[in-house]
Amino acid sequence: MLRTIYKSTVIIMATMLLVCSCKEEPKKTIATESIDFTHEGDLTIFLNTTDTIKGQFNIEFAETDYETQTGLMYRKGMDEDQGMLFIFPDQRMHSFYMKNTEFPLDIIYIKDDLKIASFQENAQPLNETGLSSQVPIKYVLEINGGLAQELGLSIGDSISFSRK
């Protein structure tokens, strides 16, 4: 009988120790600073090779390794007339993904002759699936999701851009 009481006491104490030591810690939130849009240039999209304007955007440039790797990550959104232009040193295949990007984007792949080669509409936020340019390109324009369709963009349309 004494042995049974001793075993029960040990089991109860072990259970209490286990319950008390497995206290849940509160979730930690990592605070990140808000990233504001910086108007660094202007970009115009034209219907094929004509002077008919399909859209105009204030743009940020992504040229350094850090800028091209980060892109629009950690931002809450952009105004409809804003975008980011990625400029690569040479024309080749590129793939983008939406890791840490919190709003849908249209990703427009552009050849070195400034003509749209392909585009990915409404890329889904936080999705890490690679979205290939499908052909060698030198530039990528990211704009808010749905604008490519709204503007009626098509392969062969062209862009021009300038720095502020």
Is residue 12, in this structure, part of any structural domain at all? no
Residue 19 lies in a domain: no
pLDDT digits (tens, 9 = 90+) for 3-32: 555 555 555 555 555 555 544 555 454 445
Residue 15 included in any domain: no
The answer to whether position 29 is within a domain reads: no
- If you average pLDDT over every residue of the chain, what do you get? 87
Residue 16 lies in a domain: no
Would the pLDDT of 42 be above 60?
A: yes
**Does residue 106 contact residue 148 with C-beta atoms inside 8 Å?**
yes
- Predicted model pTM: 0.80
CATH number reported for the structural domain that contains residue 128 in this entry: 2.60.120.1140
- Number of structural domains, the chain? 1
What is the rounded CA–CA span in Å between residue 77 and residue 98?
A: 13
Q: Domain residues for 78?
A: 41-163
Mean pLDDT (whole number) for 44-60 = 94
Task: Render pLDDT for 106-131 as a digit per residue (tens, 0 to 9).
Answer: 999 999 999 999 999 999 999 999 99
Map residue 10 onto helix, strand or coil.
Answer: helix
17 belongs to a structural domain: no
pLDDT score of 15: 54
Inside any domain, residue 136 = yes
Residue 3 belongs to a domain: no
